[in-house]
Amino acid sequence: MPNNLKNYIPAVLFICVSTATSAQEVTVSSRTPRFVSEKGYWVIRSNVKQPKEAVVYFYNLQHELVYEEEVKNARLNINRIKVKMRLKKALEQAIAVHEREGTTSKDDKILASVFRKK
């Protein structure tokens, strides 16, 4: 093998590898989790000293309070997907009622009906 060719092989390999790695496209998933509603959001206010009591507030995308409900004798574990999905369902029901009636309601037991054991 000629001496000049030995000098070119590492350079050619470096160019091929760097071109192959730069050609790969990095894709970031922008998929929204299924428990996130497109109609609004919810906020839970609770107290460490009373973990089985909370107040859940539901807001539409214009940041208007559309519904609130007090939860007693139940702990809402928001780390569980099932709880988030039920909160989403209650949110969408509350927003539908708000759009139909045009008023902010309180304690209509929407959460109680969504979380009722079947």
DSSP E strand stretches across 1-118: 40-47, 50-60, 65-72, 105-106
Q: Please write down the long-range contacts of 82-87, taking CB distance under 8 Å and 24 or more positions apart.
A: 84/35, 85/34, 85/35, 86/114, 86/115, 87/35, 87/42, 87/56, 87/111, 87/114
β-bridge pairing 50-60 and 40-47: antiparallel
- 9 has a pLDDT exceeding 50: yes
Burial (CB < 10 A; 0-12, 13-18, 19+), residue 53, is middle
More confident residue, 13 or 85: 85
Mean pLDDT along residues 3-14: 65
Q: Which pLDDT does position 85 carry in this prediction?
A: 94
β-bridge pairing 50-60 and 65-72: antiparallel
13-51: pLDDT as tens digits: 666 666 555 445 556 567 889 999 999 999 999 988 998
% of the chain with per-residue pLDDT over 70: 73
Residue 106: pLDDT band (50, 70, 90) is: confident
More confident residue, 17 or 91: 91
pTM: 0.69
Tell me which residue of 59, 22, 26 sits closest to 40, measured CA to CA. Answer: 59
More confident residue, 78 or 5: 78
- Residue ranges per structural domain of the chain: 40-115
